[in-house]
Amino acid sequence: MTADAGAVADIDGLTISADRALLKRRSVRGAGVTMAAQGVRCLLQFTSQVALAHWLLPREFGLVAMVAPVLTLVQIFNDLGLSQATVQRANISYQELSALFWINLAVSLALACLLAAAAPAIAWFYHVPRLTYIVLACASLLLLSGGAAQQIALMNRRMQFIGLAAIDVACAVAAISVGLLAAWDGFGAWSLVMMQAANSLTILILAWTMSDWVPSWPGPRQSVGGLLRFGGHLTGFNLLAYAEANLGTILIGRMDGAAALGFYDRAYKLVIVPWWQISLPVARVAISLLSRLNTHPRDYAAAWRRMLRGLLLVAGPGLLWAAITADDLSPALLGPAWRAAAPMMCDLSLATVLVPFGASAYWLFVSQGRVREQLHYGLISGAAIVASVVIGVHWGANGVARSFAVFAVFVQCVPLWGATRSGPVNALFAWRAAWPVMLGLAASVGGVTAAALLCANAPVWARLVLLLGASYASCGLLLLLIPAGRGVLREIWQMREALQKPRQEAVLF
């Protein structure tokens, strides 16, 4: 097959366009569609979490939260970083894709068997015998995710973001529908397991339906050593990220029990899950686009800056609002019985404000193929997270959340410093990209604080909505008042123009 002009031809004709104008249009449209879909998904999941909190007890959430770290750990090995290897690789053949598919499926089967065998030991660790059956149910889901991994990766590589967005929304609707019906019908903790099953099954069905690629049967041994090495280093980094995210959950569940973990889990879900719903699709677009722009340093750096700023602007004011209003927000959303989750929600929100810096470092490392270097810096930030959890757990769940907030600057900035030591994005460029938005976020704090004094006697929901508007308005107003801030808003406006006129050449970078 002959590639079109401006395209990089893969073995057996699999092509990824290297035409910069086409990449620009695809990335902007993809980002717009993806963010819109994730907005819908985030709203659905947020609403479902609130509803489930009124139907399920803290202990029931705690039971599933005990299993979640184990399942997350197994899923890291289940993927082996091969999905990102498929996306990042400049040229890849259908035979290599097929080899990766069968590797994924074989690993999924092996891990499902290992997890099932370990179910009694996991229940013994937490002193909860009924966890055995929950772990056995979760083990079967690994085969579903393993069967869809390469299909999703190929769609991501081809920048088929509309199809991926449709899958995201559809699996959320299916999972939430099943989970809410099960909780309403009295299934308790099992309703949360059924949500995950519906999610995984929907992804598998839609990924195979929407992808035009079918893996071939295993043939002669393919040379996939480079892909496996890339995936191995990425898996090592993901294990560190796993320890950062789940060590607190494990220790709280072990030392304080299911009820305390239930409060921590709800605070975590209300803060971290919406953040991931925003950041993961941005990462999907970022890695696909930046991987194709490696040979164009100026465009690469400008695209990275735009995505970092967008992520900070979308998430930052909302997270600061959640931190300041946590005492009202937590019981308003979950009910008076969940008031104890408010301090944890505040601290986790503050810690998450800086996570875009660590996330943008991830884009740089992966898109440039520097995953071994990423692992080295991940060891440093991972050690800091482990230290923070070990220190904080002595004060229970509140102590763990507070430690995350205290260590956040170091944990998020060290990887970014390492990522900018080489490549198209240097430390000075990163600082210039971030400081106007960070100044806007400082204005958000002032705006919310002042507005809280003015509407102190308003009904709780009216006050919360007004303060949320004040947070975003204060940030936007500050950006309008300074030249660098107006440059940030100009970039956002150019993205809007590109979305409205996708056939025209827009100045995106």
Residue type, 386: V
Angle at 139 between CA 231 and CA 108, to 5 degrees: 30
Give me the mean pLDDT over the 294-301 stretch: 85
Report whether pLDDT(366) > 90: no
Determine the pLDDT at residue 245: 65
Q: How far apart are CA 495 and CA 25, in angstroms?
A: 10
Tell me whether residue 506 is in a domain: no
pLDDT for residue 473 is more than 90 = yes
Helix (H) or strand (E) holding 279: helix 225-292
Which residues 6+ apart lie within 8 Å of 29 measured at CB? 161, 498, 499, 502
Instruction: Give pLDDT, residue 2.
Output: 35
| Per-residue CA distances from 157 to 14, 106, 219, 278, 299 (Å) | 11, 23, 24, 19, 19
Check: pTM over 0.75? Answer yes or no. Answer: no
Q: Which two tokens stand for residue 373?
A: 């270097």
Query: How far apart are alpha carbons 41 and 174 in whole angstroms?
Result: 11
pLDDT band at 43 (very low <50, low <70, confident <90, very high): confident
The answer to the question of residue 38 being in a domain is yes
pLDDT at position 480 is: 92
Q: Note whether 249 and 65 are within 8 A (CB).
A: yes
Query: 175-204 pLDDT, tens per residue?
Result: 888 888 888 888 878 888 888 888 888 888
Q: What is the mean pLDDT of residues 327-339?
A: 82
| pLDDT grade for 481, boundaries at 50, 70 and 90 | very high
pLDDT at 246 over 90: no
Q: What angle do CA 380, 385, 389 make, to 5 degrees?
A: 150
- CA-closest candidate to residue 24, choices 352, 386, 277, 290: 290
Q: Give the pLDDT confidence score for residue 266 in this predicted structure.
A: 75
The segment with the largest mean pLDDT, out of 259-263, 444-448, 459-463, is 444-448
Average pLDDT over residues 26-55: 69
| Burial (CB count <10 Å: 0-12, 13-18, 19+), residue 137 | middle
Name residue 279's amino acid: S
Q: What are phi and psi of 230, to 5 degrees?
A: -55, -50
- pLDDT over threshold 70, residue 230: no
Q: Please report whether residue 9 resides in a domain.
A: no
d(CA 137, CA 130): 12
- Mean pLDDT in residue range 438-459: 90
pLDDT band at residue 449, thresholds of 50, 70 and 90?
very high
Give the number of other CB atoms < 10 A from CB of residue 450.
12
The pLDDT of residue 479: 93
Q: Is residue 8 part of a domain?
A: no
Compute the distance between CA of residue 174 and CA of residue 198 in angstroms, rounded to an integer.
6
Average pLDDT over residues 395-410: 84
Q: 174-205 in b/e burial notation, b at 16+ Cβ within 10 A? A: bbbebbbebbeeebbbbbbbbbbbbbbbbbbb
Whole-angstrom distance, CA of residue 246 vs CA of residue 72 = 9
CA distances from 195 to 131, 137, 177, 200, 214 (A): 17, 12, 8, 9, 28
Q: Is the pLDDT of residue 375 over 50?
A: yes
- Asked if residue 381 is part of any domain, the answer here is yes
Q: What is the pLDDT of residue 332?
A: 83
Higher pLDDT, 223 or 59: 59
The whole domain housing 73 covers 19-500
In a domain, 117, yes or no: yes
pLDDT of residue 219: 58
Helices (H), 293-423: 297-324, 326-334, 342-352, 355-367, 371-392, 396-419
pLDDT for 71-116, tens place per residue? 777 766 666 666 666 666 666 677 777 777 787 778 788 888 888 8
Residue 249 inside a domain? The answer is yes
Has residue 432 been placed in a domain?
A: yes
Q: How many domains are contained in the chain?
A: 1
